[in-house]
Structure 1
Amino acid sequence: MLLLVGLGNPGKRYAETRHNVGFMIIDAVARSFFFPEFCSKHDALVSIGNIGTHRVMLMKPLLYMNRSGTSVLSCTSMHKIAPEHITVFHDDVELQPGTIRVKLGGGSGGHNGLRSIDSAIGKAYWRVRFGVGRAELCNLSDYVLSDFENIAQVTDLVNSVAANLQMLLDGNAAGFVSKVTSV
């Protein structure tokens, strides 16, 4: 089984913020591939379904960002999911808006959700970095917890991530990035 984790903060207040783009992606994947309704398990919302030939669990941790690793560890321990079968979708302020990067392993880049997951399971998992840019005149925390200015454009990119996800799961990360960013 593969585990796809979207990072975000629970609650309506954060629904369309930059820091919740991981949740947005997981919701788009669930819609695109007709996953069943999410249920509460592992301090997260989870749903299990198929993407092509892959059995997949979708996860949105219900703990705040800096405790996401607790949910991921609980799930991976119970279901015996190896780190290389985990993909985490998250915002990245170091990338320009609309930029997508895929990487196996690496550091947290100051992202508290990744730092929490790194502490819980190590660093050998896949990351899909979704560029949200950085506001130069504003506190970083305030910026990532603020809503996107152009939610329609973000929604198009999020839907493109979902629509092309099977390519990534089949091992074609470069093709996935190329297709997603051609939107």
Structure 2
Amino acid sequence: MFFQKPSGVEFLIAGLGNPGAKYAGTRHNAGFDALDWAARRWGIRVDRARFDALTGTGEAAGHKVLLLKPQTFMNLSGQAVGKAAAFYKVPAQNVIVLFDDISLAPGRLRLRKAGSAGGHNGVKSIISQIGQEFPRVKIGVGAKPHPEYDLADWVLSRFTPDERKAMEARYDDVADALEMMMKGQFEAAQSRYNG
């Protein structure tokens, strides 16, 4: 009888945001918030400091996962994701990134298999480390109220109570989508949650 050593991490799920109380609950931290929700659902504590991030390992959808919240500030998110992916030898196709998207209304979701950064600096940083062939879940946070509004001010602003409700109503869907993606049901997840 051979002793099988437990397999390593199969999926790395990164939620993007900025660390610190000052940024908690801002639009730019939608990735952190969605990851925290999934972590609670899966019973995984994301509180271990490694790879310039807060991390937690556990099981979800029958797979060993590493949940990761970069603590480098948004624009350097790739440092943490790159280090963790390299350490666990997780291919880009198994790195799933959750992040805010201002082109979608609050709570709208869009799953994509790969692609460009679309102007998102956190995603741009990750692409610089692992390439662009990683799946992502874009979480709508609403567009700027008018064109002159400063983008940085907008993404660092907080949700209205109604927007917050719309966001939180979708976090279970994000977790469901992640489970489907890990089970190889990407297209089914897209048709169910994109829109």
- What's the TM-score, normalizing by structure 1? 0.92
The percentage of counterpart residues that share the same residue type is: 37
Q: Structure 2: any 5+ residue segments left out of the alignment?
A: 1-9
Of 129, 150, 164, the residue aligned with 1:139 is: 150
**Number of the residue aligned with 2:120:** 111
Query: How far apart, CA to CA, are the structure 1 residues paired with 2:97 and 2:30?
Result: 11
Partner of 2:58, secondary structure, is strand
**Contact between 1:32 and 1:163, CA under 8 Å: does it hold in 2?**
no
**Number of the residue aligned with 1:169:** 182
Partner of 2:119, secondary structure, is coil
**Contact between 2:27 and 2:155, CA under 8 Å: does it hold in 1?**
yes
**Number of the residue aligned with 1:50:** 59
Partner of 2:37, secondary structure, is helix
Partner of 2:169, secondary structure, is helix
The structure-2 alpha-carbon separation of the partners of 1:37 and 1:83, relative to structure 1 and needing over 3 Å to count, comes to closer
The structure-2 alpha-carbon separation of the partners of 1:160 and 1:173, relative to structure 1 and needing over 3 Å to count, comes to same
Deviation string 1:41-99 (CA, Å, 9 cap, x unpaired) is 00000000001211100000000100000001111111111100100000111222222
Q: Structure 1: any 5+ residue segments left out of the alignment?
A: none
For residues 121-136 of structure 1, the aligned pairs below 5 Å read 121-136=130-145
Partner of 2:170, secondary structure, is helix
Query: How far apart, CA to CA, are the structure 2 residues paired with 1:21 and 1:4?
Result: 14
Structure exhibiting the larger radius of gyration computed from Cα positions:
2
**Contact between 1:100 and 1:177, CA under 8 Å: does it hold in 2?**
no
Count of residues in Structure 1 that have an aligned counterpart in Structure 2: 182
The structure-2 alpha-carbon separation of the partners of 1:145 and 1:73, relative to structure 1 and needing over 3 Å to count, comes to same
- What's the TM-score, normalizing by structure 2? 0.87
**Contact between 2:107 and 2:168, CA under 8 Å: does it hold in 1?**
no
